[in-house]
């Protein structure tokens, strides 16, 4: 009997779903636009190389990004889409050497693959959560399908309705969230999905098992807050203060979210993310 697993794509690990600039052609520095703001020192249209991008595709001010006014670059992560597009989708072809149409297609495809890779992160993490065991087979199928989509041709990727695919997978991610948060007593669980919590005073708050999906927590004071087993998918944590907060077991938290926040050596984190270097510098 043929092995039905033979045509399955090799599934990624969380450690592989992080940007590797050494294997990328600086796509985020070219394909994406940014506007002059507190996060970026100047305007840059999509498809135009950042003036700090060197010929070797490395950033000329990487060690001084925050000091030079490019803090937005320090919080960005492509979830490994840059190296996928550079090395797989376009088989190592540099956008500098591509024709105008070829370069434009590369820049068009990069955000699509980035969305798919972010989804791969969530699905991969969901598979590691013991509480999600009842739907593990469905999660694996969704993960396999998503990985298969990332391996499409440039034309296939450009034509993909990535939003529709995300909506389908989100049904499973919501179910995962329910299963994980059910471990916290119902009377303690808070549903703050999409809540406007800009600047909220949540110091020491008990947010165990809370759903903070898509919540706006910009500049919120979460000092010492208990965020264990909280769902943080899509939560905006820019400038949120996580000093001494406990995020042990918090899930669907990404490195870009954490990089955009403030924290300390006392902040307790899930194993899926790492402590941002600038937190130590903040003291």
Show me where the domains of the chain are located. 14-180, 185-283
Phi, psi (degrees; rounded to nearest 5) at 4: -70, -10
Whole-number pLDDT of residue 283 = 45
Please tell me the distance from the alpha carbon of residue 140 to that of residue 261, in angstroms, as a whole number. Answer: 31
Q: Which range has the worst mean pLDDT, 9-13, 140-144, 210-214, 223-227? A: 9-13
Q: Which of 263, 261, 205 is nearest to 230 (CA)?
A: 205
Q: Indicate the pTM of the whole model.
A: 0.91
Cα distances (Å, whole numbers) of residue 13 to 5, 123, 135, 238: 18, 10, 19, 26
Q: Quick one: pLDDT band at residue 96, thresholds 50, 70, 90?
A: confident
Whole-number pLDDT of residue 277 = 86
Whole-number pLDDT of residue 14 = 79
Q: Which of 3.30.460.10, 2.160.20.80, 3.10.20.90, 3.40.430.10 is the CATH number of 185-283?
A: 2.160.20.80
Span 18-32, average pLDDT = 93
Whole-number pLDDT of residue 99 = 65
Please tell me the distance from the alpha carbon of residue 134 to that of residue 179, in angstroms, as a whole number. Answer: 9
pLDDT digit string, tens, across residues 137-186:
999 999 999 999 999 999 999 999 999 999 999 999 999 999 999 999 99
Please tell me the distance from the alpha carbon of residue 221 to that of residue 117, in angstroms, as a whole number. Answer: 30
What one-character DSSP code corresponds to residue 80?
A: T
Whole-number pLDDT of residue 8 = 63
Between residues 26 and 10, which one has the greater pLDDT?
26
Strand partners, 44: 34
Contact 109, 220 (CB under 8 A): no
């Amino acid at each position: 009997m043929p092995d039905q697993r033979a045509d399955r794509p090799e599934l990624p690990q969380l450690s592989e779903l992080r940007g590797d600039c050494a294997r990328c052609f600086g796509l985020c520095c070219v394909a994406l636009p940014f506007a002059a703001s507190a996060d970026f020192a100047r305007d840059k249209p999509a498809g135009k190389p950042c003036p700090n991008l060197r010929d070797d595709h490395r950033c000329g001010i990487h060690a001084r990004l925050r000091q030079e006014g490019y803090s937005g670059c320090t919080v960005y992560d492509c979830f490994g889409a840059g190296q996928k597009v550079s090395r797989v989708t376009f088989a190592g072809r540099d956008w500098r050497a591509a024709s105008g149409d070829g370069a434009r297609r590369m820049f068009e495809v990069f955000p699509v693959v980035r969305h798919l890779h972010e989804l791969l992160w969530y699905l991969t993490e969901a598979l590691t959560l013991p509480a999600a065991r009842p739907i593990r087979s469905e999660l694996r199928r969704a993960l396999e399908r998503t990985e298969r989509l990332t391996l499409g041709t440039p034309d296939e990727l450009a034509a993909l309705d990535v939003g529709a695919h995300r909506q389908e997978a989100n049904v499973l991610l919501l179910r995962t969230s329910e299963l994980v948060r059910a471990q916290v007593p119902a009377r303690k669980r808070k549903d703050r999905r999409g809540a406007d919590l800009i600047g909220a005073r949540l110091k020491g708050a008990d947010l165990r098992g809370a759903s903070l999906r898509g919540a706006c927590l910009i500049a919120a004071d979460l000092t010492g807050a208990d965020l264990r087993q909280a769902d943080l998918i899509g939560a905006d944590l820019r400038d949120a203060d996580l000093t001494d907060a406990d995020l042990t077991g918090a899930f669907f938290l990404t490195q870009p979210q954490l990089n955009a926040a403030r924290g300390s050596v006392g902040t307790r984190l899930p194993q899926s993310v790492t402590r941002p270097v600038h937190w130590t510098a903040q003291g």
